[in-house]
Amino acid sequence: MTELEQAILDCARLHLAQLKGALALPNGPERSDSFSSAWWQLTGLAQLAEFHSGLSQPARDQLRAIDREAAQAASSNRESSGTAQFADSIAATLADPTTSNWLKQSLNEALARDSVDAANDAQVLFELLAHRSEEELRAAALAASGIPAPTLAVRFADGRAGTLDVSQARHTIITGDN
């Protein structure tokens, strides 16, 4: 095994240990951040086993084994913490004085519904609100940049109102009787 392959495997084992350590932490931002960081680092390294990376077969096999161990650790942790952990998270969210009344009310209403339907509706709501937020941020950034908006409100000769996309408009100089 080459020095590079050994270094990659050592790094993958380190991230596996970090991932397992993160799973042992209590729920919270530190656990989430640590787990996420270790998971993505390990996932990136494990991808070397699946592509034409130049790694030897034994190195690829060891990377796959490390990746399987990480997946098993995450899966068994999820199963062992299960419903009680989610119930604690729900209770903590509802009891948190910084949680908005809207979120508390929405969560209480969602808990009374079919969980799959509520989750699907929440996903649609998330996507719609994320799109709205992105558009508002884009408009605010455009306004702050001083670049004129790419659309122009117009009133047509027949009285209709509308907008024109002026992003491709160019200045034209008319001379004479053109």
**Alpha carbons 157 and 52: distance in angstroms, whole number:** 63
Inter-helix orientation angle 57-95/101-111, to 10°: 110
For tokens 């991230």, the residue is: 15
Q: Rounded to an integer, what distance in angstroms lies between the CA atom of residue 93 and that of residue 91?
A: 5
**Residue spans of beta strands (DSSP E) within the chain:** 151-155, 161-165
CB of 96 within 8 A of CB of 41? no
Q: What is the pTM of this model?
A: 0.45
Average pLDDT of adjacent 10-residue blocks, the chain of 178 residues? 91 92 84 85 86 87 91 72 64 84 90 89 91 84 73 81 72 63
Token pair, residue 138, equals: 């884009």
Res 14: pLDDT: 93
Residue 132: both structure tokens together: 């709205």
Q: Read off the amino acid at residue 17.
A: A
CB proximity list for 170: less than 8 A, separation 6 or greater = none
